[in-house]
Amino acid sequence: MEITILEKTEHNIKFILEGMDVAFANALRRTMLTRLPAMAIDEVLVIENTSVMYDEMLAHRLGLVPLTTILEDYNLPDKCDCEGKGCSLCQCTLTLEKEAGDEEIMVFSRDLSSQDPKVVPASGDIPLVKLAPHQRIIIEAYARLGRGVENAKFQPVATVAYKYVPLVTVDKSKCTLCGDCVEVCPKKILRLNGNTLATQNTLDCSLCEACVEECEAGAITIDSKPDSFLFKVESTGSLPPEEIVVKSAELLKERVQVALDFANSL
Amino acid sequence: MIIPVRCFTCGKVIADKYEQFKREVRQGDDPAVVLDRLGYNRYCCRRMLLSHIDIIDNFMAFATTEGVEQR
Ligand SMILES: [Zn+2]
């Protein structure tokens, strides 16, 4: 297995995975989506809420706010010594207290004050509710680790997708340089360069094969590289994208081991 | 009522950029260009911002705060 990182930003990572089949690529994708734990608010105690928004709606919005997660610091509630009742090892309390003066105000996710400075909203600019003059909210929220299988708010990723690595080849002896394929390509992969048909940014190719259909001479072939995948992982901000990939691979390995142990015990 | 925290389809956080989106569109920028600049490349996230109508201000016109002041 070989991984080549193409692009890495704060929330995104793009890499090529080589030497693995579809089954593995999809298993990795699904592990990232549904098995990797992340923190999210799960229980909300509304002490006071005079805003125009219902308590339930407010609680739902709070649950969707991504929280930065340190996986080593917290236990999953079902694996915690407290047996899921909620203790300081598996739960983090966040409080929100805000009152509007004579002007209306917007309550943002940054107004949530956390008991643990490492578990804070990944983005402070998420509007939660707007308060009319003299309205007030006092809220206590309990965040815990959870998995994507349970609720999508626990997913550390927004999207994880993979596609085949495209291979665009032009047969120069057949090409008539008509330029029809250049027009038809939605991703602008093909380009007429003097008297040759050149390719550019081939990784952007969506494998639609519009150029193959357009080319009467049959000079273009679109193929995909065997056992190679182009992955795109987009984090919600709860975990850094590279950590998501590494931790998911470890989790997948553990789960495969469990399956193997079971098979061997039969 | 108020801008949803995340995209309904893919789960990307969209609420934190809504104010900026609204401001820049009001200044006369093309919404498509603003969305590209904010990094919303998928049409699921784009429609969240494009088609949203904020009605919380309309609700707030009916807000009652008397109950709080009496206490
Ligand atoms: Zn989306």
Could you tell me the CATH number of the domain that includes residue A114? Answer: 2.170.120.12
Taking residues A83-96, report their average pLDDT. 88
pLDDT of residue A81: 85
A72 and A110 fall within a common domain: yes
pLDDT of residue B69: 52
Can you give the residue range of the structural domain that contains A14? 2-34+159-232
pLDDT of residue A94: 96
Residue B66 has pLDDT above 70, yes or no: no
Q: In this structure, is residue B45 part of a structural domain?
A: yes
Can you give the residue range of the structural domain that contains B44? 15-63
Contact A159 B68 (CB under 8 A): no
Q: In this structure, is residue B68 part of a structural domain?
A: no
Into how many domains does chain A fold? 2
Contacts of A139 (CB under 8 A, 6+ apart): A44, A45, A46, A47, A49, A58, A62, A95, A96, A97
Query: Band of the pLDDT at A26, cuts 50, 70, 90?
Result: very high
| pLDDT tens, residue by residue, B34-46 | 999 999 999 999 9
Q: What is the residue-averaged pLDDT of chain A?
A: 92
Contact B5 A64 (CB under 8 A): yes
Q: Is the ipTM of this complex over 0.95?
A: no
Q: Which residues of A touch B19 (CB under 8 A)?
A: 125, 127
Greater pLDDT, B56 or B68: B56
Greater pLDDT, A230 or B64: A230
Of B5, B12, B60, the CB nearest to A104: B60
Do residues A84 and A77 touch, judged by C-beta distance below 8 A?
Answer: yes
Contacts of B41 (CB under 8 A, 6+ apart): none
Contacts of A252 (CB under 8 A, 6+ apart): A27, A28, A31, A35
Query: Band of the pLDDT at A198, cuts 50, 70, 90?
Result: confident
Q: End of a domain among A126, A154, A182?
A: A154
CA angle at residue A63 from A57 to A68, to 5 degrees?
Answer: 150
Greater pLDDT, B27 or A196: B27
Q: In this structure, is residue A242 part of a structural domain?
A: no
Beta-sheet pairing, A157-170 with A127-131: unpaired
Q: Is B6 on the interface with A (CB under 8 A)?
A: yes
Residue A47 has pLDDT above 70, yes or no: yes
A66 and A117 fall within a common domain: yes
